[in-house]
Chains A and B, each alone.
Chain A
Amino acid sequence: MDKALFLLFATIAIVGAANLLRQRHPIYSALSLVAVMGALAALYLLLGAEFIAAVQVIVYAGAIMVLFIFTLMLLNVEEEAATGRSRMARYLGLPLLFLLLLQMVAMLRQEYPVTMVAQVGSHAADNVKQVGNLLFNQYVLPFEVTSVLILVAIMGAVVLARRKS
C-alpha cells in the first residue's frame, strides 16, 4: 500500500519534471512544475511532515508558482528559440549529468541500504506542534530575520521592476 502510493506520486513528480524539460513554451513548463510540487506535497504527507506539506502547497505551489505564471503572462513569452551557442553545454552536458546521477545514486545506495524503511503512519501525531515549538523557541531569531528578509525582497522587487516614470 505504501509502495503503491509512493510509486504513484513519484511517477507524477518525474513525469512532471520531464515535461518541464520537454515543453518548449514556458507556460507549460510552469504548469508541469506545479504538478511536481503537488506530488511532492503528497510525498511529504507520506513521510509524516504534515506542516511542511501544507506549507508546500500554500507557499510554493500557491504563491511562488503563481508569481511565475504572472510574470510569464506579463512578459508575453513565446516558444523558445533554438540558439545553440554554448559548445560546452552541447557536448559535455549530457554525459556530465548522467555521471552525476550515477554517482549520487551509487553513494546513496551504499550509505542507506534498502533495509531502512519508512512506514506511513509511524510518525508522531503532533507534527505541527513540534515544528511550531522549535520555530518559536529555538529558531525564533532566524524566524524573525526571515520576516525582514521578505520585507527586503518585496522592496527590492518593487524597485527593480518599476517602470521609469
Chain B
Amino acid sequence: MEATPNLWIIPLLPLAGAAINGFFGPREHKSSGQLPVASGQHGHTAGHGHEGSHDLPARGFVHSVAIGSVALAFLYAVYLFFTVTFEHPIVERVGTWIIAGKFDAGFSFYLDPLSMIMTLVVSGVGMLIHIYSAGYMAHEGGYYRYFCYLNLFTFFMLTLVLAGNYLLLFVGWEGVGLCSYLLIGFWFKKKSASDAGKKAFLVNRIGDFGFILALILMFGVAGSLDFEKVFAAVGRLGVEPVAGVLTAICLLLLVGATGKSAQIPLYVWLPDAMEGPTPVSALIHAATMVTAGVYMTARSALLFERAPVALSTVAVVGCLTALFAASIGLVQNDIKRVLAYSTVSQLGYMFLGCGVAAFSAGIFHLMTHAFFKALLFLGSGSVIHAMAGQQDMRHMGGLKSKISITYWTFFIGCLAIAGVPPFAGFFSKDEILWKAYSGGHTTLWGLGMLTAAMTAFYMFRLFFMTFHGEHRSEEASDAHESPPSMTGVLVTLAVLSIIGGLVGIPHAWGGENRIEKFLEPAFGVHETGLTPVALTEHVADVGTERLFSLWAVLAGIAGITLAWFLYVARPRLTEELAQSFSRIHKTLLNKYYVDEIYQTLIVNPLVSVSRSLLWQVVDVGVIDGAANGLAGSARGFGGWARRLQSGHIRSYATWVLLGAVFVLFFMGVLWAK
C-alpha cells in the first residue's frame, strides 16, 4: 500500500473547531440568550446594530475558528482529489477500537471515488454554509453553541463518509442524528422546536434499529464489518433469487436509510425539522445528513446487486416517496415547508436511481441536489431575513425589485431543480430517469416524469408567489437585501448549480460522462476482481435517450408554464380551484394526515402501554419490587438473626456447647470410617 494520506485529519479538523468553540466559546461570549431574537415565530431579526455589538470581536473568534477548520478540511480534500489515483481504494487504519473474539473493528478510513465525492460535497458545501451562517446568525444568542454544533456535525458527517467499516460509519450516522437533534432544537426554549428535535431523533432511532440488525447479520455473513472483507465475502456469493440473508441485510439497511434520508414511512421528521435555523436546514436537511442514506446504499452496492428483491424495494420506495412528497409540496404555504417536501421528493429520486442499479446516477443527483437545494434554502433564508421573520408565502410578493441578488440566484436554483438544461439538475435527474426506463422499469419512469413536472410546478409556484406580484404585506414592502457574507455564498452556489451538471453529460449528447467514469472503481471491478452482477441490462440507444431527455425538459417547462399561469397571470384562479377541489386540497395541505395517523396508531398506544404496563408493572412492580424485596428480606433476616445476640452469657455458653457437640460428632464420624 502506498503512503497513507492521513485521512483522519479531515474529520478531525472540524472536531477541533467544535472543541475550541465549545470550551472557549462561553468565555468569549457572555450574552448567549437562547430565545430567538426576533419577534414573531421564526428567529431572525431585521434590526442590525446594537444587539450584541459589544461582543463582535468574540463572534469573530468563534466563526473564524469554525469556518477555518472546515475550510482547511475542504482544501486538504481538494488536494487529495488532485493527487490520489483512484484505481484501488485506499484503506488507512489508525487504531484498534474493539476486539472481541472474532470481531475486530478499528478506526479505519477508506478513500475511493465515492467517498472522495462525498467528502468534497460535505466539506465544500459545509464551508459555504458556515460562511453564510456567520451573517445569518449575527444577531442571535448562543452564537458559539451554534458553531460548535455545526462543526461537530461536520466532524460526524466526514467520519460517516470516510469510514472504512460499517461500525465507524454507524458512529458517524448516530453522530449526525445527534447533531441534527441539537441543531433543530437550537432555540430549545420554544416548545415546537424542542418537540421537532425529539421527533427527528426518535424517528431516526427506529431506522437505526434496522441498521443495527443489518450490521449483526452482516457480521454473521462476512465475519467482519470492514468494507473490504464484507465486499470480498459477498462477492463470492451469487444472486439470491427470492429471499435470503442478503435480502434481509439489504432490507434492514433500507429501513435505516428511510429513517435517515426521510423516505416513506419515516420521513415525517423532516418537515418539522424546519424549526431549526435556516442554514441548518440547508446543510443538514438538504445537502448532507439526509444524503447519508443514499451514500450508504451506494456504498453497499455489491450487496444490493445480489438481492434483487431488496433492490426493487429501494426503487419503489424512492419513486413513491418522490411522488408523494411532491404532491404535498403543491399546496403548502410556508416557504421552508415546500423546500422540505421538495428535499424528500428529490431524495426519492436518488433512491430510485440506486434502485435501478444506476448508483453513479444517484450519487450524481446527490451532488447536484446539494448545490441547488442548499442554494434554495439559503435563498429562502435570505428572503426570511428580508421579511423580518415572516415565512408564509401568502404574505410575500413583489420582492424581485427589493432583493435582486437573492432573486436571481433563487431563479437559477429553481431552474436547476426543475430540470432545465444546461443547469445542474437536468443532467442528473435525466440520467436517473433514462436508466429507469432503459432498465425496463417503465412504470417507475412514468411516475418519475410526473413527479418532475410537479417539481417544476411547485418550485415555480413558490418562486412566483414570493418574488412576483404585489407586496402582500408590510414586511414585503420594507424588504432589504442581505449582507455580503450571505449573498456571496448564494452567488457561489448559483455558479455551482450552473456548471455542476457538466461533469455528467451523457454520451448521447456528446459528453464523456466523466462522473460515471470517475465512480466506476467504486461500483465496478474492485481489486479483488469481483464484478458487479448486472441485473438490468441498460439499453444503449442513443436516439431514444435523446428523445426521452427532450420529454423530460418538456415536462419541466409544462410545470413552469402552469405555475406562471396560475400565480402570475390569473392569481384568482387558484382560490377557485382550491374551492372546487376542496377535499383534495385539504388532504394535501394536511399532508395526508400522516402525522395524525401515526399519532393514533403508533404513538398513543405505545405511550399508554409504556405508562401502564412498562412503567407500573415492570419498572415499579418487578424491578423495584425485586430490589426492595431483596432489601426487605435482608432486613427481615437480619432482624431475626440479631436476636441471637441476647447479651446473656449463659445463652452464649450454651451455643458454644452446641458447637462443641457438633464438632465432636463429626470428628467421631470421621474416625469411625
Given contacts A93-B657, A96-B657, contact A88 B650 (CB under 8 A): yes
Nearest CB on A from B393, distance (A): 93
Chain B stretch 634-656: residues in CB contact (< 8 A) with chain A: 646, 648, 650-651, 653-655
Residues of B within 8 A of A100 (CB): 657, 660-661, 664
Given contacts A85-B648, A99-B661, contact A93 B668 (CB under 8 A): no
Residues of A within 8 A of B660 (CB): 100
Stretch touching chain B among A29-37, A48-56, A102-110: A102-110
Residues of A within 8 A of B653 (CB): 89
Tell whether A160 is near chain B: CB-to-CB under 8 Å: no
Residues of B within 8 A of A88 (CB): 648, 650-651, 654-655
Interface pair B654/A92, CB less than 8 Å apart: yes
CA distance A92 to B661 in the complex (A): 12
Given contacts A85-B648, A86-B648, contact A104 B664 (CB under 8 A): yes
CA distance A99 to B651 in the complex (A): 17
Tell whether B671 is near chain A: CB-to-CB under 8 Å: yes
Q: Closest chain B residue to A110 by CB distance?
A: B671
CA distance A87 to B644 in the complex (A): 12
Q: Closest chain A residue to B655 by CB distance?
A: A88
Interface pair A103/B668, CB less than 8 Å apart: yes
Tell whether B665 is near chain A: CB-to-CB under 8 Å: yes
Partner of A103 from the list B650, B651, B658, B664 (CB cut-off 8 Å) is: B664
Q: Closest chain B residue to A84 by CB distance?
A: B650
Task: Give a binary string over A69-99; 1 marks a CB under 8 Å from any B CB, 0 the rest.
Answer: 0000000000000000111110011001101
Residues of A within 8 A of B651 (CB): 86-89
CA distance A97 to B651 in the complex (A): 14
Q: Closest chain B residue to A111 by CB distance?
A: B671
Given contacts A88-B650, A89-B651, A93-B654, contact A107 B661 (CB under 8 A): no
Residues of B within 8 A of A96 (CB): 654, 657-658, 661
Given contacts A86-B648, A88-B650, contact A103 B655 (CB under 8 A): no
Interface pair A92/B658, CB less than 8 Å apart: yes
Partner of A107 from the list B648, B654, B658, B668 (CB cut-off 8 Å) is: B668
CA distance A100 to B176 in the complex (A): 79
Given contacts A103-B668, A107-B671, contact A86 B661 (CB under 8 A): no
Interface of A is mostly: helix
CA distance A130 to B406 in the complex (A): 121
Nearest CB on B from A159, distance (A): 24
Place the interface of chain A in its size category: 10 to 19
Residues of A within 8 A of B658 (CB): 92, 96
CA distance A50 to B147 in the complex (A): 101
Nearest CB on A from B246, distance (A): 75
Nearest CB on A from B673, distance (A): 13
Residues of B within 8 A of A89 (CB): 648, 650-651, 653-654
Given contacts A85-B648, A86-B648, contact A103 B654 (CB under 8 A): no
Nearest CB on B from A26, distance (A): 16
Residues of A within 8 A of B657 (CB): 92-93, 96-97, 100
CA distance A17 to B660 in the complex (A): 21
CA distance A93 to B657 in the complex (A): 8
Interface pair B648/A103, CB less than 8 Å apart: no
Task: Give a binary string over A105-126; 1 marks a CB under 8 Å from any B CB, 0 the rest.
Answer: 0110010000000000000000
Interface pair A106/B668, CB less than 8 Å apart: yes
Residues of B within 8 A of A103 (CB): 661, 664-665, 668
CA distance A87 to B665 in the complex (A): 24
CA distance A26 to B660 in the complex (A): 28
Nearest CB on B from A51, distance (A): 31
Nearest CB on B from A89, distance (A): 4
Nearest CB on B from A87, distance (A): 8
Partner of B654 from the list A86, A104, A106 (CB cut-off 8 Å) is: A86
Nearest CB on A from B103, distance (A): 61
Nearest CB on B from A80, distance (A): 13
Q: Closest chain A residue to B657 by CB distance?
A: A96
Nearest CB on B from A42, distance (A): 29
CA distance A7 to B148 in the complex (A): 102
CA distance A85 to B569 in the complex (A): 111
Partner of A86 from the list B650, B665, B667, B668 (CB cut-off 8 Å) is: B650
Q: Closest chain B residue to A96 by CB distance?
A: B657
CA distance A106 to B667 in the complex (A): 12
Chain B stretch 543-560: residues in CB contact (< 8 A) with chain A: none
Closest CB pairs A-B (n = 8):
A89-B650, A86-B650, A88-B651, A88-B654, A103-B664, A96-B657, A86-B648, A86-B651
Residue numbers of A with Cβ under 8 A of B are 85-89, 92-93, 96-97, 99-100, 103-104, 106-107, 110
A–B pairs, 30, beta carbons within 8 Å: A85-B650, A86-B648, A86-B654, A88-B648, A88-B651, A88-B654, A88-B655, A89-B650, A89-B651, A89-B653, A89-B654, A92-B658, A93-B654, A93-B657, A96-B654, A96-B657, A97-B657, A99-B661, A100-B657, A100-B661, A100-B664, A103-B661, A103-B664, A103-B665, A104-B664, A106-B668, A107-B664, A107-B667, A107-B668, A107-B671
Query: Other than the known A87-B651, A100-B657, A107-B671, what 15 A-B pairs have Cβ atoms closer than 8 Å?
Result: A85-B650, A86-B650, A86-B651, A88-B648, A88-B651, A88-B654, A88-B655, A89-B650, A92-B654, A96-B654, A96-B661, A97-B657, A100-B660, A103-B664, A103-B665
